[in-house]
């Protein structure tokens, strides 16, 4: 995924893609805690891979979520 416009949609509608198991996002759009956290919470088996170097916001999000969710950083 390279566009963040889908995050709020997935966060507010957990019935969309209920069997989603792996989500790959570009690090440049990994910058907003609410939708990412909601998506991961509503889909407990979801593995999130973030491609590229983290921005400062991305690092804060990663640190906030890494202990409770399956997030992989792929630089």
Backbone angles phi, psi at 11, to 5 degrees: -70, -35
**SS3 per-residue string spanning the chain:** CCCCCHHHHHHHCCCCCCCCCEEEEEHHHCCCHHHHHHHHHHCCCCEEEEECCCCHHHHHHHHHHCCCCEEEEEC
pLDDT tens digit sequence for 26-44: 999 999 999 999 999 999 8
**Is the pLDDT score of 2 beyond 90?**
no
4 in any annotated domain: no
**Residue 45, domain extent:** 19-74
pLDDT tens digit sequence for 9-29: 999 999 999 899 999 999 999
Domains: count for the chain: 1
Question: In the structure, what pLDDT confidence band is assigned to residue 75 with cuts at 50, 70 and 90?
Answer: confident
6 in any annotated domain: no
């Amino acid at each position: 995924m390279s566009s963040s416009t889908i995050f709020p949609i997935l966060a507010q509608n957990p019935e969309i893609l209920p069997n989603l198991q792996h989500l790959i996002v570009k690090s440049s759009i990994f910058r907003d805690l609410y939708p990412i956290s909601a998506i991961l919470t509503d889909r407990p088996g979801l593995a999130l891979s973030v491609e590229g170097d983290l921005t400062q916001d991305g690092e804060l999000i990663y640190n906030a979520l890494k202990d409770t969710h399956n997030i992989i950083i792929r630089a």
